[in-house]
Amino acid sequence: MRALIQRVTEASVTVDGAVIGQIGPGLLVLVCAMQADDAAKSATLAAKISKLRIFADDSGKMNKSLLDTGGAALIVSQFTLAADTSRGNRPGFSQAAAPDLGRALYQQFISDVDALGIPTATGSFGADMAVRLTNDGPVTIWVEV
């Protein structure tokens, strides 16, 4: 699984003009399931993201995790993270999981993050979403398991 995480002071997802998910301080997690992914990879990704020390401690150093800070996660499905741009000008997405598997692993990932005690909000799998965020830092990190 792949994720692009952004440390945020706030983030939200809107579908058809209605906000369906929003958080205050925490992480915006754009997540993509790949063809060979399974529930074990979802759990590994959730654990890794929850423990990344990318939040400031009292000295201003990135030394605290999402678990340490009590922040929230806004989890948004993003199949375009599977883009292959190695040839031509049109990205290929053949390595992304099929929609049924992608949906199942997206839901599994949400459950895995929630099970760690992290407050979660979500986007809507397959929907045309408007994502708004205030990137904190900015801190943006690519994570793959």
* Residue positions annotated with a catalytic role: 78-80
Please give the full DSSP string across 41-62, using - where no structure is assigned: HHHHHHHHHHH---EE-TTSSE
Contact 13, 21 (CB under 8 A): yes
- CB-based contacts of 86, cutoff 8 Å, min separation 6: none
Helix (H, G, I), strand (E, B) or coil at 19: strand
Q: Which residue from 106, 130, 142, 84 is spatially nearest to 33, judged by alpha carbons?
A: 106
Q: Which residue from 116, 135, 111 is spatially nearest to 10, judged by alpha carbons?
A: 135
* β-pair type (120-122, 72-77): parallel
